């Protein structure tokens, strides 16, 4: 998957400085994208009880766009390969093939198959702004 493919699927454009033909790396572990952090379930104690039941649609799911006018973080996956559920300020996903997060300023990042918690990052002074 490259950045241009993610942009085409979601209709969320990225800034001009990002290379559209670059392959989006898929990470199997803790990762961050701007103000979001992606945490493997096996690092959570205790893990959240939310079960991911809703399939991610082909155009993706906007995870943060509604919060205070923040830039969108869009979760994208091939049809039938990723389920999600949102609870409070977090999203739980379970994916059987790579899923991707797309952001206008940061580009894309891939999430390896597994169960994950995606939430806003916090610092000592509050939410991390993106």
What is the predicted pLDDT for the residue at 66?
42
Residue 56 C-alpha from the chain's centroid: 11
What is the predicted pLDDT for the residue at 22?
78
Mean pLDDT of 49-59: 89
Each residue of 5-32: pLDDT tens digit?
A: 877 788 776 657 666 667 778 999 999 8
Mean pLDDT of 74-86: 94
Q: Give the dihedral sign, CA 19/97/37/40.
A: negative
Q: State whether residue 81 is helix, strand or coil.
A: coil
* E-strand stretches of the chain: 26-27, 31-33, 36-40, 54-55, 61-62, 74-77, 82-87, 90-95, 99-103, 107-111, 114-120, 122-123, 126-127
> What are residue 117's DSSP bridge partners?
39, 92
Q: Is the model's pTM score more than 0.85? A: no
Q: State whether residue 44 is helix, strand or coil.
A: coil
pLDDT over 60 (residue 126): no
């Amino acid at each position: 998957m490259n950045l241009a493919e993610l942009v085409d699927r979601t209709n969320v454009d990225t800034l001009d400085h990002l290379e559209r033909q670059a392959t989006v790396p898929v990470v199997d572990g803790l990762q961050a994208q701007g103000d979001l952090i992606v945490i493997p379930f096996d690092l959570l104690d205790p893990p959240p009880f939310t079960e991911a039941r809703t399939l991610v649609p082909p155009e993706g799911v906007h995870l943060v766009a509604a919060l205070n006018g923040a830039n969108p973080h869009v979760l994208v996956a091939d049809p039938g390969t990723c389920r999600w559920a949102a609870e409070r300020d977090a999203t739980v996903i379970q994916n059987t093939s790579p899923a991707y997060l797309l952001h206008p300023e940061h580009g894309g990042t891939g999430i390896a198959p597994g169960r994950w918690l995606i939430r806003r990052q916090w610092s000592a002074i509050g939410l991390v702004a993106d």
